Amino acid sequence: MSLLASIDLALLVQVSADPAPSAGRPLVNLLGSAVGAFLTTLVVGAILIAVAEEYTLGKMATVVEEPLGSFLYGLICLVFLGLVILVLVITELQGESPRF
């Protein structure tokens, strides 16, 4: 199977409204998600380069010049996001009244 055919298959599975055909095929689901994430990243990157080329190139240079600082910044943001989600889930669970 060629790469293009496998990408088309993965996109068809991801766009499909009926989840039943791929419900028992986790590899197809994983590939569809990976292709979707790749295409989304590609489109967003192209838009960023088209709209703010100097800013994007500057940020790319910073990542290359300071990899540890960039990694730590991303890690701190990821931990903070996790804490925010945890707080929102706890807040939502406490505010719910039992439904019988």
Tens-digit pLDDT profile for residues 17-59: 555 555 668 888 888 899 999 999 999 999 999 999 999 999 9
What SS3 state is found at 89? helix
Q: Could you tell me the maximum CA-CA distance found in the chain, to the nearest angstrom?
A: 58
| Model confidence band, residue 72 (pLDDT cutoffs 50, 70, 90) | very high
DSSP type of residue 18: -
What per-residue confidence (pLDDT) applies to 5?
A: 47
Q: pTM of the entire structure?
A: 0.51
* For the chain, counts of helices (H) and of strands (E): 4, 0
pLDDT for 89 equals: 92
Between 59 and 7, where is the model more confident?
Answer: 59
Could you tell me if 28 and 9 are in contact, meaning their C-beta atoms sit under 8 angstroms apart? yes
